[in-house]
């Protein structure tokens, strides 16, 4: 299996209310969010009476065909696409999670990590609760079912007040869609609307992790779900309430650096704008004499455009990515050096030979892939390789819904910038400053960001990562 030396966002969510083809729109929405998780996906729909679900391991387009979607026909839908590190039992943790409870049928899909999930789960299991998965999302379902509140919206608000950490979630009951974000607004969740067709009584209300999903299904972006807000869409219309007082916002800045698609608007700001400005800021802070600016595709492309524009050095696609690399492959028996990277990337020798190259990427995690790419560019004839990274050194793991290695595996937590330069084999290496990154992403304008992975200062009480994800399987 190919492993990427990149952070992985844990998942994407989508919800559709009041559309005769809700299941198809959910499928298309998940397709647009596929980059947020490629391990499993699922859709739950309502026909007004009952909920129907289909979920499986794999990519969205492979899981849902015409026949499967026909079985899910309904006017309401939620969907989830997931990145997971779990092994054989990963299907157990695929979402949405569907239950029949004392509050009726409901299904929930969640992006994030609850830092107190282990503690709540242990308490519930001691009281006799039986968990079907090792996902912290199931903790929310149990809290809703056990709430003394009588209505589902009140029970959901009660449950959300008891959990701590990052969550952007959507939930479905037979006649309602729910959407909520945690009080710090760690992960994104946007609300939009598909205008009513002639003859229809009402338009369709939609929610998604990123607005690129809206573009595909013809929805118009309206606003972000606010931190601490619970929105309920049902027969009575749209109701909004704050189940908790919003706290100091700590939205994940890495959504702008890498996770989100550049054609999305996230936390109220165009991602493309942030990424280009990250590159421009990097060019101001870390200039170097060179002949070409080359991005590591696809992660460094937009920042490289900004760096080239600011520096006046020509931008060139001198690394070509193979978009058809599957999850498994057959290696030649005669071992080929750097085979995994060569399978995904190939240099354009004519653009690199004899050139001083500025190589742009969004991050260095372990450093292993960067080292192979620098070697590949040198082997293609480059005279010099200067590496520039469009964010600060990553020194701490994330506990809020991002799959990051432990501190001992993060190269920047264990080596100086000069040592990392020597390890990856570059002639020079520079990272963007923390202040430069914040400025580029508009920190303080529409949101303030969580930068814990660069500073080690966490917005919530620090919890050991083993407590959050028991048996390495508690991820969303």
Instruction: Give dist(CA 281, CA 153) in Å, integer.
Output: 45
Q: Considering the candidates 11, 212, 450, 453, report the single residue annotated as catalytic.
A: 11
Instruction: Give dist(CA 157, CA 356) in Å, integer.
Output: 57
**What six digits make up the tokens of 267?**
């936390």
Establish whether 11 is a catalytic residue.
yes
Distance of CA 341 to the CA centre of its chain: 23
Residue 359 vs residues 7, 274, 375, 388: alpha-carbon distances, Å:
19, 19, 12, 6
**What six digits make up the tokens of 189?**
């969740």
Instruction: Give dist(CA 41, CA 82) in Å, integer.
Output: 6
- 419 by Cβ neighbours in 10 Å (0-12 / 13-18 / 19+) ranks as middle
Distance of CA 9 to the CA centre of its chain: 3
| Long-range Cβ contacts of 85-90 (<8 Å, 24+ apart) | 85/403, 85/472, 85/473, 85/475, 86/134, 86/472, 86/473, 86/475, 87/473, 89/134, 89/473, 90/39, 90/40, 90/57, 90/473
Helix (H, G, I), strand (E, B) or coil at 335: coil
Give catalytic residue positions: 11
């Amino acid at each position: 299996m190919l492993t990427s030396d990149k952070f992985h966002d844990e998942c994407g969510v989508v919800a559709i209310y009041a559309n005769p083809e809700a299941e198809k729109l959910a499928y298309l929405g998940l397709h647009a969010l596929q980059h947020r998780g490629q391990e499993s996906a699922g859709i739950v729909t309502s026909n007004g009476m009952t909920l129907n679900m289909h979920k499986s391991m794999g990519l969205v387009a492979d899981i849902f065909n015409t026949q499967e979607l026909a079985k899910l026909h309904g006017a309401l839908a939620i969907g989830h696409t997931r990145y997971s590190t779990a092994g054989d039992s990963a299907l157990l943790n695929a979402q949405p999670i569907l239950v029949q409870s004392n509050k009726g049928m409901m299904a929930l899909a969640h992006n994030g990590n609850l830092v107190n999930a282990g503690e709540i789960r242990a308490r519930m299991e001691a009281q006799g609760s039986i968990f079907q998965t090792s996902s912290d999302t199931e903790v929310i379902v149990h809290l809703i079912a056990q709430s003394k509140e009588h209505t589902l919206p009140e029970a959901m608000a009660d449950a959300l007040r008891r959990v701590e950490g990052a969550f952007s979630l959507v939930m479905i009951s037979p006649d309602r869609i729910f959407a909520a974000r945690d009080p710090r607004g760690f992960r994104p969740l946007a609300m939009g609307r598909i205008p009513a067709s002639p003859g229809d009584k009402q338009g369709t209300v939609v929610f998604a992790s990123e607005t690129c999903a809206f573009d595909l299904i013809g929805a118009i972006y309206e606003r972000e779900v606010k931190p601490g807000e619970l929105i309920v869409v049902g027969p009575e219309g749209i109701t909004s309430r704050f189940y908790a007082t919003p706290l100091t916002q700590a939205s994940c800045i890495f959504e702008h650096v890498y996770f989100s698609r550049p054609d999305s608007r996230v936390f109220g700001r165009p991602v493309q704008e942030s990424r280009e400005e990250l590159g421009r800021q990097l060019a101001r802070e870390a200039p170097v004499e060179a002949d070409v600016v080359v991005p590591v595709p696809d992660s460094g492309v937009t920042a490289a455009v900004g760096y080239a524009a600011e520096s006046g050095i020509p931008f060139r696609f001198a690394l070509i990515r193979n978009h058809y690399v599957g999850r498994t492959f057959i290696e030649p028996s005669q071992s080929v050096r750097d085979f995994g990277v060569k399978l995904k990337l190939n240099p354009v020798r004519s653009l690199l030979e004899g050139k001083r190259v500025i190589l742009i990427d969004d991050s260095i995690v372990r450093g292993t892939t960067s080292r192979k790419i620098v070697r590949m560019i040198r082997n293609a004839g480059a005279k010099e390789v200067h590496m520039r990274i469009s964010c600060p050194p990553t020194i701490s793991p994330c506990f809020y819904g991002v799959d990051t290695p432990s501190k001992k595996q993060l190269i920047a937590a264990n080596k100086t910038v000069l040592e990392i330069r020597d390890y990856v084999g570059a002639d020079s290496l520079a990272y963007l400053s923390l202040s430069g990154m914040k400025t580029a992403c508009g920190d303080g304008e529409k949101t303030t960001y969580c930068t814990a992975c660069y500073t080690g200062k966490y917005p919530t009480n620090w919890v050991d990562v083993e407590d959050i994800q028991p048996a390495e399987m508690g991820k969303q």
